[in-house]
Structure 1
Amino acid sequence: MIWIPIVGLALGISLGLILNVNIPLQYSSYMSIAILAALDTVFGGIRASLERHFDSSVFISGFFSNTLLAALLAYIGSELGVDLYLAAVFAFGVRLFNNIATIRRLLMQKGKKVS
Structure 2
Amino acid sequence: MWLAIVGLIIGIILGLLIPLGVPIAYSKYLSVALLAALDSVFGGVRANMENNYDNVIFITGFFSNTLLAGILAWIGERMGVELYTAAIFVFGVRIFQNLAIIRRHLLKR
TM-score relative to the length of structure 1: 0.85
Aligned identity (percent) is: 57
Shift in Å, 1:5: 5.2
RMSD: 1.7
Q: Distance in 2 between matches of 1:11 and 1:69?
A: 28
Alignment partner of 1:61 is 2:60: yes
Q: Distance in 2 between matches of 1:37 and 1:14?
A: 21
The letter for the 1-side match of 2:62 is F
**Higher deviation after alignment, 78-87 or 11-20:** 11-20
The letter for the 1-side match of 2:63 is F
Shift in Å, 1:8: 5.1
Match of 1:91 in 2: 90
Shift in Å, 1:94: 0.7
Match of 2:77 in 1: 78
Change (3 A) 1:34 1:43: same
Alignment partner of 1:108 is 2:107: yes
Q: Distance in 2 between matches of 1:39 and 1:21?
A: 19
Q: Which runs of 5+ in 2 are unaligned?
A: none
Change (3 A) 1:68 1:91: same
Q: Distance in 1 between matches of 2:65 and 2:10?
A: 19
SS at match of 1:53: coil
Q: Which runs of 5+ in 1 are unaligned?
A: 111-115
Shift in Å, 1:59: 0.9
